[in-house]
Structure 1
Amino acid sequence: MSVVLPGELVPAQHVNLKLGPGLQQEAASQVTATRAGILEHSANNSRWWVESNSRRYVPAPQEPVVGVITGRLGEGWRVDIGSAHNASLDALAFEGASRRNRPNLKVGSLIYARVSLAHKDMEPELECFDAQTRKAEGFGELKGGFLVRCSLRMSRNLLDPNHFLLPLLGSRFPLDAAVGVNGRVWISAKEPKQTIAAARCIEGADPDGGGMDQLALKMFLDSLDF
């Protein structure tokens, strides 16, 4: 773990390098920090980002987000993803979408999307399919369920395959989840009390909230009647 400051060079190198918030690639493939914080990277060093106390999400390409439809925009929609500006989502940015076959999203609908374009001088753009396979791969409209808000750090923790919380919840009851790095987690369980329990566990494990560990959350779940 190391602390970086704005303008500092970062030793981020990988064949499929993906940069998250707080980092940008300069000429000659140099990567520099754009804000102060703790330098983090994935286990295989392909993803790098700067963890800070920022509450506002800063979009970065290829990151998954949970968004809320706020209105129409030409042939697509405007989407609130918790960043400084709304994102745009084209009606054709879905698997199998065409001029005659497109989603019917309404204001207030939730979507799970990937950031396809992010630039400081332009509004972010989203797509609801995997950029490589052109398949939905879990992206698209999120129907039913419940939206939980958490810190940006917690959402990145949940996307880590080694984090204990989602496997722990999945061992207690069937649960569908879509985790966005923008501090939003969509969850859906068969019974309302299971959804409430999952939401409370996410809030309890949040480092900016209760910061409960695996043992404490196991005890909490053991005290509930499912």
Structure 2
Amino acid sequence: PVKPELPYFKHHTLEQFNKYLLSFERHCAKVFPDDREQWRTLLISKLSKDIKATLPPEAEYDWSYEKVLCNIQDYLKLTDDQVESSPMSEFWRLPKLATETPKRFSVNLLRAFKEAHPQKEFDYEYDNILIERFVDAQSEDTRNHIKENTLISKSTGQRIAYEAYVKLAEQFENNKRKRQQNYEKMQPTQQPKYYPNQFKIFRTIRI
């Protein structure tokens, strides 16, 4: 039997949108598991004209799926007087603090993910949404390191677990921290410059 097409989002509240996201992301995870650009394009195509009008033209080709998602949620939050923070929006908005290690952030993110997706509490290990959300929150050099070290495995179709991504990020950040500390130790202490004759010159001028 032919599966019914994904419905359009015709509501106007954040709560309804987050409910819609559950079925939308489930659909995309099956149809476009490794192509987030398709997620973005499909989501925009399923929006009402009112909501679509709040997005700039470049959103359709230049923005990430997550950025489109957050902008829609921001708009709906502004238009919904009775909105409360939902587990789904908490997951998408959870920030990685500058002082937070990748491992610590991964624990907080996983907790938020399980609250937003209770049906995946024991089935999160290879979840693309969770993994991509974790990777996107890292610094650029950490993201590049993860990408370089997972490229071959991905190209051969090998699945990589969430914990493996966390370990890659943690190791890279630790090494970066050690390099920075070693660099700082090697820097000579700046001594004030002293010229032997500077005080003589000063005295001569005074005289």
Task: Give the TM-score normalised by structure 2.
Answer: 0.30
More helix by share: 2
More strand by share: 1
Task: Give the TM-score normalised by structure 1.
Answer: 0.28
Structure showing greater Rg: 2
